[in-house]
Structure 1
């Protein structure tokens, strides 16, 4: 298992869109404290940084400055190619459990694996459309009650699609990860779409991405993905 630093802060968005943002840099440094101690005890060190909410910065200047800051601290940004709204399912699942609504929790969970399989199929197709082959994918998941209860089923689905679980180091040997990325903006999006935007793909390329079911959105109290 690899541990990544991912500085999460309630002030992330207003801080990160401002160039020369010292407070956000301080959040990154604070995020290293516990993780570094854990890794040092095992003879390891932090090497990857996952952008919170996958936000790279609202403009190229901010993006480049933050990338330079991370590089100076020895980080490589951990890209994500299979982005998804698993966190919305997790919120809906937890809310149902907290109020004792087992039926709703099961309904959310039953929709989770089919949704994730549709996401896999979509990004496999996107990889083929952009690169002409199925690349080594990086899946974004979070530690939560939903995955604690259903990760076995999720893993079986992934393996049925022909995948093996590999390290991030190995995944990043795929030549796709050397593709130019000039995306900057308010959205936290998959790297496949960043590369596609940089390559000048039109709107048709991005169509068809699976959406979270309306009842899950409602249960989670989320109005937009």
Structure 2
């Protein structure tokens, strides 16, 4: 199912592709919630916005550790949302041996074959966005991905949404509604500042916006905040597209085809490679990690 423009946004609006890491388990469970309920909230919100092709990147070990999370995978696919590979155990390529990381990617494939079926699950999101701690390891990993017919799910937008999930669970446990309200406002503020930061980088590099790929996580606070987050992006002029549509932009050329020589696949990397001045990074409006301890 193709994504469509959100109501009230013009056809010329800026584009963003939502992608979700750590399916089906991310972060602590607040009291009274389940992984399945979190998934249902995310799915219902995206369906209401016609975001029918948002990829979820899977760590198969999650279902081994939390068997009760498996129905979330079934719900995700029943709703028509695609799945991609995030490596079985979320292994960090920078710190792991290359052969161990490759085995971890392949170990995840039976899970994808089971749940994703004939859909295109040959998209890989590097765990921790770690692409190899040396040029040689990065090139070897790209060669492996090309041989196994993968495309790389690059990231060009992200505000560290995962940061809010731990303190949210603590604040729920303490029934601290005032603190939760602070978490909510700081989350939206961080996302809004991140938009301005990423757009400033794109304009420094290209003189114009590109379609952005947003990294999100399937946490409880993300599910709570998603309706308001989408409203914020709409108010900033964004429409929602698929990762396939976003990565048609020339910036993502080497991500779509890992057999090509590696090029910077993040805006920060491209700014550094060109020796341009980095725009001022957003500053957190709240010490989120210190909340409800």
Match of 2:283 among 187, 211, 223: 211
Residue aligning to 1:51: 126
When residues 111 and 8 of structure 1 are mapped into structure 2, their CA distance, relative to the original with a 3 A threshold, is farther
The residue matched to 1:16 in structure 2 has which SS? coil
Residue aligning to 2:213: 138
TM-score, normalisation: structure 2: 0.65
When residues 95 and 181 of structure 1 are mapped into structure 2, their CA distance, relative to the original with a 3 A threshold, is farther
What is the deviation of 1:158?
A: 0.5
Contact 1:17 1:62 in 2 (8 A): no
Match of 1:175 among 242, 246, 250: 250
Contact 1:182 1:198 in 2 (8 A): no
Alpha-carbon distance in structure 2 between the residues aligned to 1:71 and 1:181: 12
Alpha-carbon distance in structure 1 between the residues aligned to 2:289 and 2:168: 11
User: Hey, which of these two has a bigger chunk of helix by percent?
Assistant: 1
What is the deviation of 1:175?
A: 2.0
- What whole-Å deviation, never above 9, does each CA across 1:116-137 have from its counterpart, x for those lacking one? 0000011011100111111101
Alpha-carbon distance in structure 1 between the residues aligned to 2:169 and 2:204: 37
Contact 1:18 1:62 in 2 (8 A): no
Alpha-carbon distance in structure 1 between the residues aligned to 2:158 and 2:237: 19
Contact 1:136 1:171 in 2 (8 A): yes
The alignment covers a number of residue pairs equal to 207
Alpha-carbon distance in structure 2 between the residues aligned to 1:107 and 1:46: 38
Residue 26, structure 1, aligned to residue 103, structure 2: yes
When residues 53 and 61 of structure 1 are mapped into structure 2, their CA distance, relative to the original with a 3 A threshold, is same
- 1:129-168 map, 5 Å: 129-168=204-243
Contact 2:161 2:222 in 1 (8 A): no
Gapped regions of structure 2 (runs ≥ 5) = 1-52, 56-82, 255-260
The residue matched to 2:238 in structure 1 has which SS? coil
User: Hey, which of these two has a bigger chunk of strand by percent?
Assistant: 2
Higher relative contact order (CA 8 A, sep 6+): 2
When residues 108 and 55 of structure 1 are mapped into structure 2, their CA distance, relative to the original with a 3 A threshold, is same
The residue matched to 2:287 in structure 1 has which SS? helix
What is the deviation of 1:155?
A: 0.3
Residue 16, structure 1, aligned to residue 94, structure 2: yes
Q: Where has structure 1 moved over 6 Å in runs of 4 or more?
A: none
Alpha-carbon distance in structure 2 between the residues aligned to 1:8 and 1:31: 5
Residue 7, structure 1, aligned to residue 96, structure 2: no
What is the deviation of 1:220?
A: 8.5
